[in-house]
Structure 1
Amino acid sequence: MITLQENSQTSYQLPPQVIEPAWYQTARAILQPLENLDWHQKKYGDIFISRFLGLPSQVIISHPQAIQELFTADAKLFETGSGGRIVQPLLGSNSLVLLDGDRHLQQRKLLMPPFHGERMKAYGNSICEIATQVTSQWQIGQAFLARPSMQEISLKVILRTVFGLTEGERYQQIQRILIEMLDTFNQPLSAVFLFFSSLQKDLGTWSPWGKFIRRRKQLDELIYQEIRERRQQPESQGEDILSLLLSARDDNNQPMSDVELRDELMTMLFAGHETTAIALAWALYWIHYQPEVREKLLQELNSIDIANADPTTIAQLPYLNAVCSETLRIYPIVFFCLPRILQAPMQLMGYDLPKGMTISACIYSTHHRPDIYPEPERFRPERFLERQFSPYEFLPFGGGNRRCLGMAFALFEMKLVLTTILSHYSLELLEKAPLKPVRRGIVFTPAGGVRLMVKHKF
């Protein structure tokens, strides 16, 4: 235990500190994230301090009690926006992820309606149509990679539900440029550009950051064009999220500015597209890696008339829900919740944390606690049928006032896409060795993308 003295009057009992040098911790966190977290959890326990180059020291927590204390504390105790600055180049400074205080509350209120209730039901048929359309290109006996295929589905879903776009030149351009932007950070080493602002230098067209900047500029121009055109045609407002945001007004009856709209649209494009695609690729891997899971799932799907079932009926199937939950438990797409920076001292798990300290809840380590999830390395959906986990034990979408706004939409999409695929195709997994996650920017994806083959169509 470390004692920190401030102004010789205040004494803080701090959690244990990882003794490895900051450069080593940083390298391991980028290149060997699973091994790094497992080792630190084993050696230091539920709460410890890590140091990373270019970032302030962070208190890493994975105990449900500590997470509950963090998520239920007064939001004014933390500054969260600046803790997420790693994503600012991707999303923009007006993104909900980077806002704090009243502005965060106000923007969250504006963005909430499209992701709930009747509004979301309306997207169900679109999701099934798109999944059917994309997978119709699969050929019997032909191998394919799940992640790019799922990425195509999730991107088309986002473009239709968020922008109302289904075809045309702008649709094609947004699709192409967004994938190119994401591919900038598709290797663990290329992810360092997001972690170190000192590397974010435009050294010309062929430099990694230079390429990223130019693609972002192209995407910005397309998004602003769409916003301007839609503002000029208020009578043609549709069911898509951009239409709803254009008509939304804050407490002072003011609409969102073009820049605010752009940043929120970018947030949905990035957060709502790549993450769902990765979760779907993992789900297809586990369903076919463990044949008994596939058999149980098919039994449940065959118990209803899939072709005529309402999307919300499909989304309520218990074993399908358990498979999606276990997929998000075993290898969460993001390993950490957004860091919270203390604006005043706080007591946590018996430790006294000073103002300015950063606290990060580790989703991966919490999901791998054997006291909550026996045999945590085993994919076992039944655990979600046997008991209900608290939001401090199961937190794939973060928590508290920062829980992902698109959580219900992402789960809805996962369930409908998986149902569409499994009711039309018999697939075979071509991977023999167990797959592990690898870093892709700030998210974690199955190594190799999950190779599958179509055995036959139904």
Structure 2
Amino acid sequence: MKLPEGPKTPALLLAYQFETDPLRFMDAMSDRYGDIFTIMADSTPMVIVSNPEGMKQIFTNSKEITASGKLNQDGASIVGSNGLLALDGLPHRNRRKLLMSPMRQTQTQAYGQHICKTTEKVMSQLAVGKSFLAYPTMQKITLEVVLPSLFGLHEGERYEQFRELFSKLISYARSRWLDISLSYPFLKRDLGRWSPWGYWLYLQRQFDKLLHAEIEECRQQVDPLRTDVLSELVSACDETGQPMAYEYIRDLFPSLLFGGQDASATAISWALYWIHSTPGVRERLLEELDSLGESLDPAKIITLPYLSAVCNESLRIYPTQVITFPRLVESPIEVMGYKLDPGTVVRGCIYLTHQREDLYPQPKQFRPERFLEKEYSPYEFLPFGGGARRCPGELLALVEMKLVLATILSRYQLALAHQKVEKPKAIGVNYPPASGLKIVMLGQRPRQERSQQLLSSIN
């Protein structure tokens, strides 16, 4: 086997460099070794690919290179051993199909008004003339948006219980205490809710209690009009034709929850940064939004070309998945001229693909126009991953991103609290602005400005 070149640095030091600053680490590897290189993980070679042709080979040669669930077992303590990431073959295809069904285009549009109203509710609580942190504010919005899509909950006691519990779950999942417990197996002991691991198990038991109650109510009060994920799973059968077992239903939610809140909040926060720091972007967006008139129709908003381009460019610079989930070479195969033997792990680096000069000239610059000038293949632009492990919530995430941004921009005037360049910070698998992105709420957008924008767009 001829492996691509790679660093000879000890594995522990490489792991430290990656965990400390993943994006800088990837940039350094790419500068030195190009668009394919090898990192040794103990005795297992891990080949990192960022060339679009290499990406295509990884995603399409599914027999030789499998999206093996066993490679994702390290995350089972967080997202469940029966979750989508841990499954393979027929169980994976069956449950992925079930999750995709309530997120189809026609159904995600039904959440449009809720997304806009939730955004308006949260933003209206901010004090005029005061600064706020965009990232936690967007987290608050995205959490309230994800509850109806996952559980069909819009209000009431159980809605509030789920909202409060999910805030605690997500916050603790990103905490140093849980990270330490996962890093040292001897600390994974339940010593009560005041111990690091015991508190995590306590939160999981609280989630089980709430979910059990919601499932029972869903089974007793069948509503054919419900389109949320939970109702779909409760009425569905697994790959053997039997009703879905509770643990199968439960373990499908954590990854959807983390992605639905954290990843979406990160993407929206970066978009707000680029919109307010790049000359001309906000003005062009407002002109496009104002062309729809006073009553903004969510179905029309999500089709706006420049808004879509702004969202894509934000996701290009800092994608929701920086690196693909690992794949395992099962049969000898050649990738980009290198012969890889069984046992080799292969991963695509989405971040580096999105930084290629040949695809995206001046890649560090925020330039939405590039998505109006060219259509990119799914191996050139892939912010939600690709192949069998592509994010099933991609459609809902894009709808949410567009509607949240449209609501904020059309209703409010904001300004960055400072002009310093924002840097990303790794929080779990997401890379939100390191500062949280401090923004000043200037107030509601004057109706006169909207009218002037509308007239200029007509003329």
Q: Which residue of structure 2 aligns with residue 425 of structure 1? A: 412
Greater mean deviation of Cα atoms: 191-200 or 285-294: 191-200
Distance 1:85 1:271 in 2: 18
Greater mean deviation of Cα atoms: 25-34 or 224-233: 224-233
Match of 2:168 among 180, 196, 199: 180
1:219 paired with 2:207, answer: yes
Match of 1:389 among 352, 376, 379: 376
Distance 2:272 2:223 in 1: 42
What stretches of structure 1 of length at least 5 have no aligned partner?
A: 1-11
Would you say the 8 A contact 1:16–1:49 is kept in 2? Answer: yes
What's the offset of the Cα at 1:383? 0.9
Task: Please list the CA deviations of residues 329-348 of structure 1 after superposition, one character each: whole Å capped at 9, or x if unmatched.
Answer: 10113211111112222211
SS at match of 2:435: helix
SS at match of 1:365: helix
SS at match of 1:49: strand
Matches within 5 A, 1:92-171: 92-171=80-159
Task: Please list the CA deviations of residues 135-157 of structure 1 after superposition, one character each: whole Å capped at 9, or x if unmatched.
Answer: 11122101111111111111111
1:210 paired with 2:194, answer: no
Distance 2:181 2:265 in 1: 21
Distance 1:344 1:27 in 2: 31
Task: Please list the CA deviations of residues 107-141 of structure 1 after superposition, one character each: whole Å capped at 9, or x if unmatched.
Answer: 12222211113212211111112111111112210
What's the offset of the Cα at 1:76? 6.4
What's the offset of the Cα at 1:235? 4.8
Matches within 5 A, 1:36-435: 36-52=25-41, 56-75=44-63, 77-186=65-174, 192-193=179-180, 196=183, 198=185, 201-202=188-189, 204=191, 205-235=193-223, 238-250=226-238, 252-305=240-293, 307-309=295-297, 311-435=298-422
Would you say the 8 A contact 2:102–2:229 is kept in 1? Answer: yes
Q: Which residue of structure 1 aligns with residue 448 of structure 2? A: none
Distance 1:52 1:29 in 2: 12
Task: Please list the CA deviations of residues 162-196 of structure 1 after superposition, one character each: whole Å capped at 9, or x if unmatched.
Answer: 11112233322322222222223546x66854874
Would you say the 8 A contact 2:102–2:227 is kept in 1? Answer: no
Distance 1:251 1:440 in 2: 35
Distance 2:64 2:213 in 1: 37
SS at match of 2:359: coil
**Partner amino acid, structure 2, of 1:166:** H
Match of 2:19 among 12, 30, 45: 30
Would you say the 8 A contact 1:94–1:263 is kept in 2? Answer: yes
Distance 2:86 2:440 in 1: 41
What's the offset of the Cα at 1:45? 1.0
Distance 1:76 1:193 in 2: 36
Gap change, CA 1:195 and 1:71, over 3 Å in 2: farther
What's the offset of the Cα at 1:206? 4.2
Gap change, CA 1:409 and 1:201, over 3 Å in 2: same
Would you say the 8 A contact 1:337–1:361 is kept in 2? Answer: yes
Would you say the 8 A contact 1:25–1:51 is kept in 2? Answer: no
SS at match of 1:51: strand
Task: Please list the CA deviations of residues 296-338 of structure 1 after superposition, one character each: whole Å capped at 9, or x if unmatched.
Answer: 11111111125242x1211010110010001111011321111
Would you say the 8 A contact 1:428–1:452 is kept in 2? Answer: yes
Distance 1:162 1:203 in 2: 29
Would you say the 8 A contact 1:289–1:429 is kept in 2? Answer: yes
Aligned residues: 444
SS at match of 1:438: coil
Gap change, CA 1:248 and 1:381, over 3 Å in 2: same
What's the offset of the Cα at 1:274? 1.3
Gap change, CA 1:56 and 1:181, over 3 Å in 2: farther
What's the offset of the Cα at 1:57? 3.3
What's the offset of the Cα at 1:254? 2.6
Would you say the 8 A contact 2:151–2:229 is kept in 1? Answer: yes
SS at match of 1:277: helix
Distance 2:44 2:209 in 1: 35
**Partner amino acid, structure 2, of 1:158:** V
Q: Which residue of structure 2 aligns with residue 7 of structure 1? A: none
What stretches of structure 2 of length at least 5 have no aligned partner?
A: 446-459
Would you say the 8 A contact 1:334–1:444 is kept in 2? Answer: no
Would you say the 8 A contact 1:110–1:250 is kept in 2? Answer: no
Distance 2:427 2:178 in 1: 7
What's the offset of the Cα at 1:49? 1.1
What's the offset of the Cα at 1:95? 1.2
Q: So what's the TM-score if we normalise by structure 2?
A: 0.91
Would you say the 8 A contact 1:326–1:381 is kept in 2? Answer: yes
Gap change, CA 1:118 and 1:92, over 3 Å in 2: same
Distance 1:354 1:200 in 2: 36
Q: So what's the TM-score if we normalise by structure 1?
A: 0.91
**Partner amino acid, structure 1, of 2:201:** I
Match of 1:19 among 2, 5, 8: 8
SS at match of 2:252: helix
What's the offset of the Cα at 1:241? 2.2
Distance 1:269 1:82 in 2: 21
Distance 1:438 1:200 in 2: 27
Distance 1:239 1:295 in 2: 37
